[in-house]
Chains A and B, each alone.
Chain A
Amino acid sequence: MPSWPQNPKYLGKSSQRVDGPVKVTGAARYSSDIHNNGWLYGMILRSKWANAKIHSIDLSAALNSPGIKAAIKVREDEFIAHFYGQELAAVAGTNKQACLDALALIKVDATELPHVVDEKTAVNPDSVRVFPDFPNIGDPRVRENGEVDQAFAQATTIVEGHYTTQIQMHHCLETHGNTAHQQGDTLTVWASTQGVFSVRDGLAGNLEIPQNQVRVISDFMGGGFGSKFGPGVEGILASRLTRQTGLPVKLMLPRYDEAKAVGYRPSSFQQIRMGADADGKIIAFEMNAFGSAGYASGPSTAGGGGRAGFPAPYIYDIPNTRVRQAGVALNSGSARAFRAPGHPQASFGMESIMDEMALKLKMDPLDFRLKNDTHDSTPAEIRRKEWKLAAERFGWKKKYRSPRSSPGIIKTGIGLAGGTWGGGGRGTQAECQINADGSVELRCGTQDLGTGTRTLMAMIAAEIFGLEPGQVTARLGDTLFPPSGGSGGSTTAASVSPAIHNVCHNALKELREMSGVENPTGDNWREACRKIGIQPLIAQGRWVEGLSSRGVGGVQMAEVTVDTETGVVKIKKIVCVQDCGLVVNQLTCESQAYGGVIMGIGYALFEERIMDPLSVVVLNPNFETYKLPGAQDMPEIDITLLDMPERGVIGVGEPVTIPTAAAIANAVANALGVRIPSIPITPDKVLAALGEVPNKPAASLAGSWGNFHKKLHWDEIQPAQAPEEGH
């Protein structure tokens, strides 16, 4: 069984990013930087209707427009464009303005159809239907465990709540898109992607060309968060345009278009009831929930993963549970996987009702967690340690007061929440080339989303060869390299690291035989390599068992102040305690945690897509009106990583963003003595919850849609399948 070194020089410690210098100097070429004189720009015409039958599209005026080299339709037949922003046609031209001008000349003959763009309207039985033959909200997926009704009858304390989470946009700093170039029989695509191989396969499939005639490159990319697995419609259009013109076509979406058709985190509307016994043990849980992933959940180009369901009951050990969940169709672009799909929604609803129950039981929320976080699973076992460790670092016992105890107008509150994630990963292959001068080149068809994969590869090789990470050149992001999977689900580190371990040991074995040097590492490296000769040593390797695992827990605690007169929430501190098995690079691992917490802060307080039912557009398609937190909104963030080398590499990108919003919401409730049941927690909602806003009862924040659950008659639907195991 392979194993990680016992006394590592680099693993578990901080290594600077090997690509740090090229990134900060601007020398790193992201997909959006790939451009040369004479290359074409591509742009997309999108539907301005929320729902419309597209009869025909006339490209002739656009084709005759100055600078335009090609214009194509997304579809040739008559079809229904189901949402505002759906792709209709595309042009390629010599400059961006020529493309913009040409788009304005395309004539679309369409008949507008009735539409519905918000969940609360769409769930009404008499709502306009997105698909005429189906109700917008179908039968829920029902999961049942134990004897729920009986357990509620036995419960001594019962709490009920309604919680809502908003649609959150990915808004990667590098937008979606690519540059495509057809030369001879090879289509080369520089894509901003989380999966070079999935883009390759998606393009080959859509264009009906062999996979060996498509090469996809992603040297550097500026964020994906789950929204960049497939080529996307924009990728297919760029490839069609280059195949038609014979010239490279750069098609990167403008920021304006990012709000329309490239995914988001689905909304959720959760009605939860929970019962506990006199001892403070939860014995019954019932949830009805719906959310929207748009007009359809995850078309083939999006990489899927964007459905509106989420795990429930989340993380806590409850013997009797009934969960009914459904998706609601809307005339809106589709959701896509978004960093820990489903879990932040799950955590927000669950941890909110947990605090309500703790309050009613007159228990400290931390003690109530410890009493009920009792699953017999590795994440739960780890989390039980993490609750205590976080409480120490945060000073929970000293800081905790009952709700609204803080005096004055600006009130302080604290809150906590937990999470879990699978992670893990397998299947990566890699190649190691050792040259006679001692230089090392690693090649792996994974991609570095900015998380530090390149550095991780170099560190592992340096560790095994006894070199400095700087002596190793790690190459990735190219389908000419040995295959690896998409970088999603926090699987990259756990999938790539064992392959690098394996290929380096294979290379070492070969070097030993070739050079006759018994231990060619470290000081002996140069001497051994000199015997390689003209043809470099090339070794292959692949992911092997024993160097990685899956399943993590994590907890976070938040301290906030809430101004009860202005409604403004400020976060003072977040403590994050997270495990991820073997920490490969402390520095980039902490960076992941910072990023996850920051994203969670955006989810808790600021971000929300506003889809306007009246004008049917996304009203906030830019960073002025889609509010992302800034540097001054950041609190002190205290990260503790549990380094558990014995578990191998797991991955950390996703779990660190899960509990943040729930912990903040609980802290706000603790400060105010009243809960804001709906994120983002903006000043208007705080003031409404405090009863300060004329004509706006606090109950309207989450309550008004609760009746829809009754109208849906979900009570009459019986569970169809065996329940899933808990977390």
Chain B
Amino acid sequence: MTLPFAIIAGLTVGSAIAAMSLRNLVHCALSLVLTFAGLAGLYLQLNAEFVGFTQILVYVGAVSILIVFAILLTRSTEPKDEPTTVTPWVGISVAVGAFLTMALAVLASPVGKRIAAPAPEVSVKTLGQKLMTDYVLPLEVMALLLTAAMLGAVIIAMKDKEGSR
């Protein structure tokens, strides 16, 4: 375990805990931005530069702005609610159980001790060529999905006019 990895991993996990446990929703969104940025750092450490920068563009840039907008638009006018369920320990124990199961599996597996091969040559050019040849059908389906999702989001969130339905 190297020091940069420990710092980035600690930052990511800590801000994720903060994002899920803070009471103020805007603070939660800001911690979430830190988590996404930390994940981008982990991708860069793993020599996945393009995915790391995509993570910054899509998550740190777009998704977090979307979340902040949604939080501000739905800011509750009613009195402060209880932020969690009456029995939060049920969900927490389920999560802890899931983590222990996964951690035991990871630590027991011989794959976990594997050391990385020398860094592969991955340029944006080769990625683009793959996207345009081997993965062209998934790419087109993805474009269709994004268009449909965008239209759907606009239609769902559109204010219905009085008497139009």
Indicate whether A and B interact.
no
